Amino acid sequence: MKLSSFIKQSIMTNPHQYKSRYEPLPSSPTELLRTVQGLVIHGDQGKLYGVSFSKRQLEEELLRNVPQMLDRLFQIDESPLNTIRLPNLRLIGMCRDYALLLVSFLRHQGIPARLRVGFANYFKSELMYEDHWLIEYYSMEEKRWIRMDAQLDEIQKTHYRIAFNTEDMPADAGYLLGGQAWMLCRSGEQHPEDFGYNKNWKGWHSVKGNLLHDFNSLLGLELLPWDLWTELSTKKYSDLNKSEKNLLDEMAEITVNPDVSEKELLNVLSQLPAAYMESIQSKLRMLGVQEQTEITDPDTLEPKFFIQSVPKTGNAVLPAKQPNDVLMLTGCRQNNLKNIDVSIPKNKLTVITGVSGSGKSSLAFDTIYAEGKRRYLDHMSNAAKMQEFIEKPDFDGIQGLTPTIAIEQKKGSQNPRSTVGTLTGIMDQLRMLFVSIGKPYCPYCGVPVKKDSKNKNRCPVCGNLFQALTVSVFNANTHTGACHVCSGLGFQYKVNPASIVVNENLSVLEGATSYFGKLRGKKPTGNWMVGELYAIAADRNIDLDTPWKELPEDFKNALLYGTGDKVYRFQYNSGGRDTEINRPAAGAVAHIQRLFRESKSEDNPWKQYMYEIPCPVCHGELLCPEARYTTMMGYRLPELAKMPIVRLREWIYSLQGLLSDNQRNKAGEVLQEVQIRIDNLLQVGLPYVTLNRTAPTLSGGELQRVRLSSHLGSDLIGLTYILDEPSIGLHPRDHHRMIDTMKHLRDKGNTVIVVEHDRDTMLEADYIIDIGPGAGVHGGEVVSAGTVEEVKENSLSATGRYLKGEYEWNLSNNRVPHEWLILKGCTGNNLKHIDAYFPLHVMCCITGVSGSGKSSLVFGTLIPALEEAIKNQRNYKKSYQTFEGYETINAFVQMDQSPIGKSSRSTPATYIGIFDMIRARYAKQPKALECGMSESHFSFHSKDGQCPACEGQGQIKIVFQYMADHYVTCTECKGSRYQESVLEVLYKGKNIAEVLQMDIAQAVSFFADVPEVRTKLQLMEEVGLSYLKLGQSIATLSGGEAQRLKLAKELGGKQKKHMVYILDEPTTGLHFQDIEKLLLIFRKLTDAGHTLYIIEHNTDIIRASDWMIDIGPEGGTGGGKIVASGPPDEIKKNTASITGRYL
C-alpha cells in the first residue's frame, strides 16, 4: 500500500476536536512512545506501579476511538499530552489503547503507522500465546517497517524479563501476527488452543478473530474485539466451507507481508461477502463513530395495545405426601446455646422465637444452616472444598437434616447492574420473549427490518445492516447489548460545581464550601487541597474571611476550575512532614472528578458532588439500538422494565389474547414462566417494585422477599429453608401473603424454619421453639416448644403470654402537638403534590402499606429539606414547594437501615468510643509497663500487637470458585486477634481478647467502676443490644441492630436543645420485650422536648406513638397521598386508613 495511506488518520485514530492538543507532542517515534506510556496504564498491571483501580476506572478499557480516550484523559487531568502523568492519573486501557493512541500520534507527525493484531509469548500467561496488539511505523531513513510494543515500558520489561529491543522488535521476539498464527494452525505446526485471550477464550475463534482484526486494521478499521459480528467472524471453524478457508488463507498470506500492496488488499476485500464491509460500516454508524442520520423516537414505532385489569390470583399447591419425621439436634453448644436438644418437625412451618440475643440465630443459622453448608462442601471435589478449614458447628449430633437454603436479611450487592429483574430471572425470560416474537425496527427510518441472513437484519429503506436478535443483545451487562456510550449504566456522572458551595453567606474559612470544610484555626498546610487554596489566595491578595458571595468571580472560578498553566508553589502536610510542591492549580472540580473516578468504596464519598446525567444516546434505557428499537405489540423492553410488577402482570395477561397461533407456539412456555415469577413477586408482597429497581435501593426485607420469590417457582422438594424475620418491612395487611408464601414452600414438601418475632406468623406456625429466657449468657435454653396452643399454656414462656394477649404496655401518655414542620407541594417519586404537617416535640409514626411513599416523604423530601434549612446544604433536586416551622430545631439525626461501615475491623467497642479507654487501662497494667507496651499494642489494628498471621482479623478468608468466600478461625491466634505476649497482660483477671468476647451485659458489670465506659454500655443495653459482643464485627449486624447502635452512640454524645431523630423501622430484630425498652428510650427523648419521626409497621410501636401520618392508600402509583393524620386512637376509627384497621 502507499505509505500515504498510513499517514492519513483513520476513522478510529482521528483526534477531531482535540487536534490542537497535539501541538506540544514530540516528533520522534521513541519520544512519542514514552509519551503514550505516560498517558495510559494497563488495567491488569496496577500492582507494578503501586496503584489499584476502581470498577469505574476499569470501564475506560471499553473506549473505542481516540477522541473518546482523549476526552476521558482531559477529564482526569487537563495537563498537556506531553506531560508524564502519575500512574493514578493515567487512562486505564489495554494493549489496543496504547497502540491506537501511538498510531494517532505518529500519523499526526507525518510518520506512516499502523496497528497490528496478533499473539505474544513473552508474558507470564496461562496460554502459550496471549492475544496482544502493537504497532508498526515506517522509517524513511531505513526504508523498512519497525515494530514497537507500545505497552512495554521499563517497569513491565523488568517484570516480564524482556531481553529484546521493544522499540525495534526482532523477528524472533516471540510475536506472531494473526495471519502467522492462522497459517501455523492450518499447517498443524501449532495447536489452536495455544492461542487466545485467556483459558476461557482461546482456540480457532481467537486465531480467526485476530486475523480478521489485523486485516481490518490495515484498512484503517481498528475495531474493538466484540465490534466484529459478520458471519465470517462468528462462524465456527468447523462450519467454514472450503472457499471461506481458502479466502482466510489468502488473507493470512498478504497480512504477514510487511510490504503488502493496496492491490492485494483490495483483491481479498473484493472476495469477501458484500455484507462484511456493510456490517462494519453499519456498526460504526450505530456507535456514532461514523456520521449518521437523525434517529427515530423509539416510542413512536408501533401503536400500543390496551392493558386490561385482571383478577388477582394466588398460587394453589397441593400438600406433598411426606413421612412425618423430625429433624433432631442434640447437644447444641454453638455460641451461647447451653447444650440443648431440639426436635423440629420436618415438612412443617416452625418459628424459632425469643428475646433479642437469646440464641435463635445461633440455632437456626450458626448450627442448622452452617452444618448443611458444611455437608454440601464435603461432597465437593478436594480441590474446591478445602474441607479441613471448614469448622464444624458445636453440637453432638444432627439427624434428618436435608439440604439447607438460608434467606437472610443481609444487604445484597451494591452493584447498580444487579436489579429485581436479574435477581428473579424475569429479565432473562423477557429477553427470550423479545428474541422469539419481537419485531426489530431501523432506528433511522422507523420501519421494520427484514432478515438478511442467519445473524443479520437489513433495513429495506436505507440498507443498513443490524445484528440479528439474540438474548445478549437485550442484556446491558454484555458488550453486545450495552449502550456504547454509558456501558449499560443508563447515565453518566458529572461534577456539579454548585454542590461544592453550601453557604454563600459564609467565608471560605468558616466553611462556605463542603470541599475545603471549616478552616478556621486549622493549619494552612493541612492537606494539598488546602495548600492549593492558600497559594491562589496569596497570589491574588484575597482575604479568605470575605463571604463567598462577595469574593471576586475570577477567584471563585480559580478555586473551582483551576488556573490553567500558571504554576504555584505551596506546602502541605504528608505523613507528618511538611512537603513543598510546584504545579498548576487544577481546581476543586477536576480534583473531585479524579477522586470520584479512583474511589473503590461502594459508598463513594465524592458522589455527593456529582449528579447523574441521562445518557445522551440511550436516554437511560441502558441498551444498544437494536434492543431499544425492538417492539412487542408496541411495547419495548425498557418500557416493561419500568412498569410496577402488578402492571406488568396485566400486560402479560393482555398480551396473550393478541398473539397469533404461531407466536403462541414460539413463546408459550416463556410467557407461562414469566407469569409464574411475577405472581411469586406479588405473593411475597412486592406489587410496587419494577424490574429495573436496582439492588442497592432495596431494603433488607425487600431483598429477602425478592430472593424468596425465586424459590417459589422451583420444583425442588425435601429442602430445609431458613428465613430471617420475613415480616420485616411488611405492612400488617401484607403479612398474610408472606405467611401463605411460607406455607406454599411447606406444602411442596419442604421444611421451613423461621426466626421471627411477629405475632401473626407465630399464630400460623405448626410448631414454635421459644429460646431464652434472657439474652447472651442468660439465654441459650429452650423455654418452651410445641404447637401454638401448647406454648400458650406454658406459664414459663413470655411468648405464650404475648400470644394470648396478656402482655400489655402502659405507655399511652400521648402528647398533643402544638408546633409543626410543614412541607407543601411534595412530588418526589409517587407523592401526589401533597402537603405534610409533621408535629414537633412528639413521637410520630409514618405508616402505610409497602411502597406507599413513606420513604419518599421522609428520606426523599423531609431530610433534604432539613439539610438545606439546618445544615445549609443546597438541595438541587427539590421535590417540594415550601418548608416552614424548622426555626426551633437545633439539629437532626437520621438513622436508616444502612450498614454502619464496610470494614470487618470495626466493632461496637470502637464505634461507640470505649475501646481507646479500655486499651488505656491495659497499657497501665504492671506487666504492660514491664514489657514496654503502649496502647497501640492492645489494638488489633496495630502491627505492634496484632496476630501477624491474620493481621488482627481473627479469621482467615478461604476463597471458593463460584461461591461466596468463607471465613475460618485463625489457627495461630485461635481467633483472639492478638500476639501471645499481649494476651499475658491481665486486667481484673481478663486479657484484652477475653474482654472483647464479653457481651454488653457482662461488660456493664465488668466495667462498673469505670463510669465513662459503663455509661455508654448501659445506653446500648437500653436500646436492646445487651447481647452484642464488644469485639464482634459491625459488618455482622442487621439493619435494625446497626440503627439502634447509631442511636446509642447519638444518645451518648452531647445533645442539643431540640433534636429531631428520624428512624426507619428500629424494631427490626426486636422481641416484644425489647420493644418495651426501646419505647422507654423514645419516651425519655420526647419528655426532654425532642422530636421523633419513625417509619414503622409494628402495630405496638404505632399504638404507643403520639401522632400518625398514614400514606397510601396502596403502593406504587396507587399511593402517594396522606390518607389520615392524627393520634392512633382516632386513626383506628378512620375507615379510609388501611393501617387503622390493624390498630
Q: Which amino acid appears at position 623 of this protein?
A: L
CA dist., res. 357 & res. 1025, Å (int): 8
Q: What is the pLDDT of residue 717?
A: 86
Query: What predicted TM-score, i.e. pTM, was given to this entire model?
Result: 0.75
Q: What is the pLDDT of residue 379?
A: 66
- Closest C-alpha to 732, from 766, 761, 706, 696: 761
- DSSP annotation string for 30-51: HHHHHHHHTTEEETT-GGGGT-
Q: What is the pLDDT of residue 857?
A: 95
CA dist., res. 139 & res. 98, Å (int): 20
CA dist., res. 1138 & res. 848, Å (int): 8
Indicate the helix (H) or strand (E) that contains 677. Answer: helix 661-683
CB 736 within 8 A of CB 320: no
CB 420 within 8 A of CB 689: yes
The helix/strand/coil state of 860 is helix
Indicate the helix (H) or strand (E) that contains 211. Answer: helix 204-218
Joined together, the cell numbers standing for residue 1142 give: 390493624
Query: How many angstroms from the chain centroid is the CA of residue 419?
Result: 10
- Closest C-alpha to 358, from 1024, 1129, 1110, 1116: 1024
Q: What is the pLDDT of residue 577?
A: 64
CA dist., res. 969 & res. 79, Å (int): 50
Joined together, the cell numbers standing for residue 1143 give: 390498630
Q: What is the pLDDT of residue 593?
A: 87
At CA 584, angle to CA 579 and CA 590, rounded to 5? 100
Q: What is the pLDDT of residue 317?
A: 38
Query: How many angstroms from the chain centroid is the CA of residue 369?
Result: 26
CA dist., res. 231 & res. 121, Å (int): 29
Joined together, the cell numbers standing for residue 13 give: 485514530
Q: What is the pLDDT of residue 552?
A: 93
Mean pLDDT of each 10-residue bin along the chain, 1143 residues long: 87 93 95 97 93 88 91 89 92 96 97 96 90 96 96 95 95 94 95 89 92 93 81 87 94 92 87 84 78 71 75 45 73 93 95 90 92 78 51 89 84 72 91 94 93 88 89 90 88 86 85 75 60 85 90 91 81 64 82 85 78 89 93 94 92 89 88 90 88 82 82 82 87 84 91 92 95 88 94 89 78 80 93 96 93 91 91 77 94 79 76 93 94 93 91 80 68 92 95 94 93 93 88 79 85 83 86 83 91 92 93 88 94 91 86
Q: What is the pLDDT of residue 106?
A: 97
Q: What is the pLDDT of residue 656?
A: 87
Map out the domains of the chain with their CATH numbers: 3-286 (no CATH), 326-412+698-800 (3.40.50.300), 420-490+615-683 (1.20.1580.10), 494-610 (1.10.8.280), 808-900+1037-1143 (3.40.50.300), 904-1034 (1.20.1580.10)
Which residues partner with 968 through β-bridges?
A: 956
